[in-house]
Amino acid sequence: MNFLQFSFYLFSVILIVAASLVVTVRNPVKAVLYLVLVFFSAACIWLTLEAEFLAIVLVLVYVGAVMVLFLFVVMMLDIDVARLREGFTQYLPAGLVIAGVMVAELAVVMLSGRFGLDALPRPVARGVDYSNTRELGLVLYTDYVYAFEMAALILLVAIIAAISLTFRRRGGTKVQVIAEQLRVTKADRLRIVKMSSEITDGEKSQ
């Protein structure tokens, strides 16, 4: 067993354990943290597949942004965990049966030899000068350029949607109303009072 195999199986075990903890732990905050672990080990597994760019993106975007967002939300909301876990194991047998059937079926297909080393041998590892990022960029900006633009648009829409959904105006916030500032005239700010000149007592005495 070489280092590659060792790391693959190590991270696989971590991934499976972490994933099962994600769906079973009581505390949602812990669940999010286990999810971070799942993503991290997934990124490591992807490294064994020479998908360096995606592995980094997974860590940066998912762990760095999405998971932090999850953490924020979970901590922000006052969640009554006890109620949410009522009947937690009620559907477990059904879920286990379904999942078991599915894993069995997948295993039947995947271990049938069609995906074994004889049918699909593992490609020879690339050299040091190979850049996964460059390869991906070459495809992304040529063949998939329209899809890429579309993905950007989807992200923009998601930003707008998330903000407009959660944004609410509170009373008492101070804001600048530029239109009103521009509409201001001299009469609004300055009051000229006409009055006769008077001589105060002090001046009189002088």
Partner 1 sequence: MELVYLLIPLACLGAAVAVGFLGSVVGRVAAHTIAIAGVAISFLLSIIVAVDVSQGHHFNGAIYTWGQSGGVVFTVGFLIDELTAVMMVVVTFVSLMVHVYTIGYMAKDPGYTRFFSYIGLFTFAMLMLVMANNFLQLFFGWEAVGLVSYLLIGFWYERESAIFANLKAFLVNRVGDLGFLLGIAGVLFLFGSLDYATVFEAAPQKETATLVSPMGYEWQWITLICLLLFVGAMGKSAQVPLHVWLPDSMEGPTPISALIHAATMVTAGIFMVARMSPLFELSETARSVVLMIGALTALLMALVGLVQTDIKRVVAYSTLSQLGYMTVALGASAYSIAIFHLTTHAFFKALLFLGAGAVIIALHHEQDMRKMGGLRRALPITYGTCIVGSLALSGIPPFSGFFSKDAIIEAVAHATIPGAGLTYVAVLIGVFVTALYSFRLIFMVFHGQRAENLDEAHGVNEPGWVVTFPLIALAIPSVVAGAILVEPVLSGRLFATAITEPVIATGSHTTAGTMLLHGFSGLPFWLAVAGVISAWVLYCLKPRWPSKIASTFSPVYRILQRKYGFDELYQCVFMRGSRYLGEHLWRTGDVKLIDGIMVNGTANLVGRLAEIIRHLQSGYIYHYAFAMIIGLVVAMSWHLWV
Partner 2 sequence: MIPLSHYLVLSGILFALSMIGIFLNRKNIVILLMAIELLLLSANMNFVAFSHYLGNMSGQVFVFFILTVAAAEASIGLAILIIVFRNRQSINVQDLGSLRG
The single residue among 1, 108, 119, 175 that binds partner 1, judged by CB under 8 A, is 108
The single residue among 5, 6, 96, 105 that binds partner 1, judged by CB under 8 A, is 105
Site for partner 1 in 72-91 (CB under 8 A): 91
Q: Which does 89 bind (CB under 5 to 8 A by kind): partner 2, partner 1, none?
A: partner 2
Supply angle C-alpha 183, 188, 190, rounded to 5. 130
Scan for tokens 């769906």, then name that residue.
23
Q: Which does 100 bind (CB under 5 to 8 A by kind): partner 1, partner 2, none?
A: partner 2
**Integer Cα distance of 176 and 178 in angstroms:** 6
Residue 67: CA count within 13 A, CB half-sphere: 20
**Integer Cα distance of 187 and 23 in angstroms:** 67
Residue 171 beta carbon to partner 2: minimum distance, rounded to whole angstroms: 16
Q: Which does 49 bind (CB under 5 to 8 A by kind): partner 1, partner 2, none?
A: partner 2
Asked if 61 contacts 151 with a C-beta cutoff of 8 angstroms, the reply is no
Asked if 34 contacts 4 with a C-beta cutoff of 8 angstroms, the reply is no
State which residue, 16 or 101, has the beta carbon closest to partner 1. 101
- The continuous run of DSSP H or E covering 126 comes out as none
Could you tell me the end-to-end alpha-carbon distance of the chain, in angstroms, rounded to an integer? 110
Contacts (Cβ under 8 Å, ≥6 apart) of 12: 41, 45
Is residue 65 a contact residue for partner 1 (CB under 8 A)? no
The single residue among 23, 29, 98, 153 that binds partner 1, judged by CB under 8 A, is 98
Residue 172 beta carbon to partner 2: minimum distance, rounded to whole angstroms: 19
Q: Which does 136 bind (CB under 5 to 8 A by kind): partner 2, partner 1, none?
A: partner 2
Binding residues for partner 1, rule: CB under 8 A, are 91, 98, 101-102, 105, 108-109
